[in-house]
Structure 1
Amino acid sequence: MTTALLTHPDCIDHVNPDGHPEQVARLHYVLKALEGKDLLRLDAPMGEDAHILMTHPQDYLDRIKSSGPEDGFVQMDADTFMSPGSLTAAYRAVGGAVKAVDMVLGGEVENAFVATRPPGHHAETASPMGFCLFGNVAIAAKRALDHHGLSRVAIVDFDVHHGNGTEDLVKNDPRIRFVSTHQMPLYPGTGAPQETGPHGTITNIALSTGTDGDLYRKILANRIIPILRDFQPELLILSAGFDAHVEDPLAGIELSTEDFGWITAQLAQAAADLCGGKIVSCLEGGYNLDALAASAALHVDELIAAGAG
């Protein structure tokens, strides 16, 4: 079967202040690296308010909708900004994640990569954070459960920062298993291993500065894959952040581009064994442009290989 790529030019119109690490060029570099690959390329549709309200309350949605400026920037928190194009871009990110779930669960494609921005895994129930406005992967999981009738969805977040927003949005739903690997201590300061959620469905794996690919591979094989096997998900969603790369300026984990390919291949094999290969991957972080592009390209190569296998 096919791998879908969902993106949209509107995501270029989300602009942060000069010098901000979550810059427009991130998406340019990723999409350039994916040119020529065997992908079903689709425009990410606009998300709907109903999609966002699966995880965020109405008053929060109203706040975000009313905050977009006509020009310049509005600062939502210490490092999260909205520009005139941000709201539309955020709706495209939500819509892309929802459409990817619909396509994968509808049997149209084997798996999908959603290359949109702003990212989502730091957005909490009622708080924009860490460059994020809406919890895209949590919304995707709720779509799979509540619209498609799945019983179990797993989310694996390999961004170097803890997916605090995703955890906040899914921790009360026992149908969702959330696993996050992240450097600690590091922004946002959450994700301690003892944080397991009210249903024991949260696994936070804290990585020390300097963790390399050999150690990460052992963690994936000996901890993450067994968790997935035990949970038996019907869909695997990935928060695909590439800022654990050794060349990334915002953190101190030392994964190589090839490590991200191996991680993807192993997770794809687990998905093949557990849920018919059904994977939805959503772009999160990655702030060295060349490392981001190379890692995302290899990530997608492995999704394509899994879909063709």
Structure 2
Amino acid sequence: MEDKVLAEVANQLYAGPLEDFVAARASAAKEAASADKELAAAVRALPKPSVAAWAVNMLAQHQPDVLAQLTELGGRMRAAQVALDAASLRGLGRERRTSLAAAVDTARSVALEHGRAISDSMAGEVEETLRALTADEGAAAAVRSGRLLKTLQADGVNAVDLDGTVAVPSVLPPVAAAPASGPAAPAGRKMRSTTAAAPQQRKPDKPRLEAVRQTPRPASPPALERARAVLKEAQAAEAAAALAARELQDQADDLRTDIAELVREAADLRARLGTAEEQLERSKKKLAATVAEAKQAVRAADKAERTAVLAQERVLRLGNTRD
């Protein structure tokens, strides 16, 4: 079995409606079983993605230009960070906020077109994943694959953890090349194959007795109302936490920009200090030379004054003698 063949099957599965994933996976595994049992087993082991990851996959499969633009923007941001270009970082940070908002709106529209509405909290997870795409080249390749299993997060300092986040990780799009002004990009990130570990993670079938156990009695109205109230509070808390996380991430972006600007200012001040110290040393040497010349000039002036006094006395003596 070749990973490329498995990736092609996975691409079709992860590009479809989320509600049809399990049935589509079973059908694909059955179709593959006649020719390649190993491939069929690998197909059956492909995990179902989370709702937010599925929404990002919809964006990758049906609106790849959106991800391409974000990937290019991320490359420019990393190049500006390396160059300590604070002015560019500020502008790119504003551009990223606008682009992320537009990309999330597009993801929600594409997801809705394929049968699933995305809540505000899930939209927050989508935005965090797209933000990770702009911050990390490995994350960009994983997102662009369209085979995400769960969403990503980036703290702006460490590399994004990609372990277990993408199906068939051995077959990923190439990492986007960094702009010419930036440093060479790493060749990529090694990830353990999720498809290889999936068979051991699959839960065993439930016993028949458990499958046919009696249906639980419906909850009483008061209990149901309480459960709904708890659910509403939990959803509100989740949305608030997602909003707070996005605001903190924006603050972190601004702080990184401020740090880059301060580093550049410090470098400028060190350069100016070095120039000033050189000028001070030259001025000290010139002062010493000027003082020495001044002393010589004073001595010469004293000598000339004595000579003039002697000459005047001689003139007076000669004048008196003639009289």
TM-score category by the smaller chain? under 0.3
Using the size of structure 1 for normalisation, the TM-score is 0.25
Q: Which has the larger radius of gyration?
A: 2
Higher helix share: 2
Higher strand share: 1
